[in-house]
Amino acid sequence: MITGGTRGIGLGIATELAKSGCNLALNGVRPKDQISEVVEKLQSLGADVIYCAGNISVQKDRETIVSSAADHFGQLHVLINNAGVAPENRNDILETTEDSFDRVMNINLKGTFFLTQLIAHHMIECRSVSSNFFGCIVNISSISATVASANRGEYCISKAGLSMMTQLFASRMGEYQIPVYEVRPGIIETDMTAGVLDKYTQLIEEGLFVQSRLGTPEDVGKVVSVLVEGKFPYSTGQVVMVDGGLTIPRL
């Protein structure tokens, strides 16, 4: 299950997982006819792909999303929490509105938390039936979990909360041998960053990044693929940075 899996980072993850042999349940809010081309492309890689439309900030939608995927596949082995939104307007924190704060937090953190809760129960049940069941949860957060941007404070707070959520679920799911990871992308070239692309291009030229390029959705997808393959079984709760060295403290 990949939330927000039909565009941007989510699609980069979906593509890499399809290449590695995973079947996919993609979640998004767009009508099914608008993502048919995406689904067909992933299916061409050999994956069984279904689309589970719904807004994860809405309880009824979350239940429908999970039941649709579980009915189709029987078991859900992996949850990739990727769905997230930026503020519609980048306002200084002294001007941030309550509506904007609620919108970002409801999707990025509250919805993600309770969707994870639902799927965690599903994984625990699968584990009780078969001790060989393998599952994992991967939360896609952001360097904004620790790097402050005062003109989008609600986004930063939501990602900091997601980072703590990773530790909480890692602690709780440990007894079931289900690891929980956090992948923390830096500046990734997607539609979310399109509006500030010129700014970051200039910063790259000025040497802000250790690796002098923007990240790609595929960069994130490759990291997630390794985690999903179970190659870090004893690293639950850990953060994997995918930021081109942006957050390395340097003089």
The answer to whether 118 touches 66, Cβ cutoff 8 Å, is yes
Tokens 């929490």 locate to: 81
- Secondary structure (DSSP) of 46-91: T--EEEEE--TTSHHHHHHHHHHHHHHHS---EEEE------SS--
Catalytic residue among 51, 155, 176, 234: 155
Q: What are phi and psi of 211, to 5 degrees?
A: -95, 115
What beta strand segments (E) does the chain contain?
2-3, 24-28, 49-53, 78-81, 136-140, 180-185, 239-242
The answer to whether residue 155 is catalytic is yes
> Which residues carry out catalysis?
155
